[in-house]
Structure 1
Amino acid sequence: MDLSEFEADNSVSCRLASAIPDVCKTQDCCLGIDEAGRGPVLGPMVYGICFCPVSKKEDLKNLKLADSKTLTEEQREDLFLKLDEAKSFVGWALQILSPNTISTSMLQRSKYNLNALSHDAAIGLVQFVLDSGVQLKELFVDTVGPAAKYQEKLSQRFPGVEVTVCPKADSLFPIVSAASICAKVRGHTAAKLLSLSSYQFLSVFYLEGYFRDPKTKAWLLKYLDPVFGYPQFVRFSWSTAQTLLDSKAVPVHWDDDEEDGEKAAARQNNTSMLSYFKASAQQSDSRTPHRFFTERRLQSLHTL
């Protein structure tokens, strides 16, 4: 799978897709949706879809697919290869939501929670295959939030498509199991790529990613920079990360032209955030840049 787009800029969302089988453009098709990596404080979340003709449901079932969470990594890889070998009638697409995309979306001024972000990712993938010519008739979704409301939302968005939203859809419908496997396998690859973006974070790939994991907690404490916070592999909007930032990081006050004299006097012993950048600009370029800048591909500007 070509992850070059995500490798070029892993701070944003990225879409990957297989070729659209010709048969999916001429026959009624079913499509399943599932996600991987919703809960961890580390790494991307991946939304996956898989689709095939309704007439091929039994062929898909014969692949003996199962919910990806019940499978080992090796089993998931083997099943993904089987899906790839069935590319004459099976197609898939993924939306990789980077930790940065997730956190900046959740912390923007207008309310945009994880459920809304997930719904939009799923809807975008369905619209993508429709725009690609897939004759979609049946849609099966593992629920995010109340199933009835989500089903109504999808039914209104895609009239003419029979929508089924229910919990544990990944274990009930083979087409959703296929989507689950695609999301898990490629999400695993994307997480590895993101963790390898800086050599000092190699160990993060082997962490569970949940704060209940002692190794994850230790890693979060170790790589918390008091000024710049976390590397972009961390979902800084998670309460886990926010709590550590509040207790371990340096308080920062951003300069405000509208600030009155009383407030300015109250913080006169504090160092302005802007002073850091002024000092950096005066120092030699021979220094190794902080990862905050290298991860975001930022360079010093000396002249305008």
Structure 2
Amino acid sequence: MLVCGVDEAGRGSMLGPLVVAAITIDKSKIETLSKIGVKDSKKLSAKARESLYKQIIKLVDDYAVSKATPKQIDYAVAGHDLNNLEAQHMAKVIKKLQPSVSYVDSCDVNAARFGKEIARLSKTGKIKSYHHADAKFVVVSAASIIAKVTRDRAISKLAKNHPVGSGYPSDPKTVQFVKNWFSKNHTVPDYVRKSWAPVKLIASQPLA
């Protein structure tokens, strides 16, 4: 029986992709994920995540990643449809992996509704949707590590040319980068989410 875990990374970021990842693993091997130290990616250091990423992809039967670009995110936000965009990407990776059952981390306040939407889109196995699933189910924790490492690598790639920081609004380095870019160019780069409130605020300020 193939069990799938699905999670995302980067939903709240000001820049870069939203990354959705899924893993499938035979039910008999799930305990091994716990034994190697897999847990919610937020509770792990970057070094630990990188190490576990390599171990996870060797252990699981398969995995899949899907990315939503800032442009796609902005379009979804404009239509108040960000949850649906995430559901589409989760359905995409589930459909690719064809598991018997999938555990997903719900971004919707109504976890059951979110699960039903993914089931409608993927038409693949049973969908079990929960809040904080990345802390409750080790298969989702494994997916969270894959998503986070993939996202971190995308940000590291941007950071080679620009001082983007972590990409999150709570990071002064990220906010300052967007401010400096806008001040100089009167716009923001394609990898910045124009629909995000902090970005809109920067763009609304009078130029010096």
TM-score, normalisation: structure 2: 0.89
Structure 2 residues not aligned, in runs of 5+: none
Cα distance in 2, alignment partners of residues 157 and 104 from structure 1? 19
CA distance change for structure 1 residues 65 and 149 in 2, over 3 Å: closer, same or farther?
same
Per the TM alignment, residue 174 of structure 1 is displaced from its structure 2 partner at its CA by 1.0
Kindly, what percent of the aligned residue pairs are identical?
28
Pair member with larger Rg: 1
Which of the numbers 102, 107, 118 marks the counterpart of 1:144?
A: 107
Matches within 5 A, 1:100-249: 100-107=71-78, 111=79, 113-130=81-98, 136-145=99-108, 146-157=110-121, 161-196=125-160, 199=161, 201=162, 203-204=163-164, 207-225=165-183, 228-248=186-206
Aligned-residue CA RMSD (Å): 2.2
Structure 1 residues not aligned, in runs of 5+: 1-27, 131-135, 251-304
Q: 2:66 corresponds to which residue?
A: 95
How many positions carry a matched residue from both structures?
207
CA distance change for structure 1 residues 154 and 84 in 2, over 3 Å: closer, same or farther?
closer
Q: 2:12 corresponds to which residue?
A: 39
- Residue by residue over 1:55-104, the C-alpha shift from the partner in whole angstroms, topping out at 9 and shown as x without a partner, is 22223332221000010000001111111332xx4321111222233224
- Kindly indicate which of the two structures has a greater share of residues assigned to helix: 2
Per the TM alignment, residue 157 of structure 1 is displaced from its structure 2 partner at its CA by 4.4
Cα distance in 2, alignment partners of residues 234 and 249 from structure 1? 19
Contact 1:51 1:90 in 2 (8 A): yes
TM-score, normalisation: structure 1: 0.63
Counterpart AA for 1:59: T
CA distance change for structure 1 residues 235 and 150 in 2, over 3 Å: closer, same or farther?
same
Structure 2 SS opposite 1:48: strand
Cα distance in 1, alignment partners of residues 37 and 28 from structure 2? 17
Cα distance in 2, alignment partners of residues 73 and 97 from structure 1? 22
Contact 2:41 2:145 in 1 (8 A): yes
Query: Structure with the greater relative contact order (CA < 8 A, sep ≥ 6): 1 or 2?
Result: 2
- Residue by residue over 1:184-213, the C-alpha shift from the partner in whole angstroms, topping out at 9 and shown as x without a partner, is 0111111222344xx3x1x21xx2323233
Cα distance in 2, alignment partners of residues 95 and 226 from structure 1? 33
CA distance change for structure 1 residues 159 and 105 in 2, over 3 Å: closer, same or farther?
closer
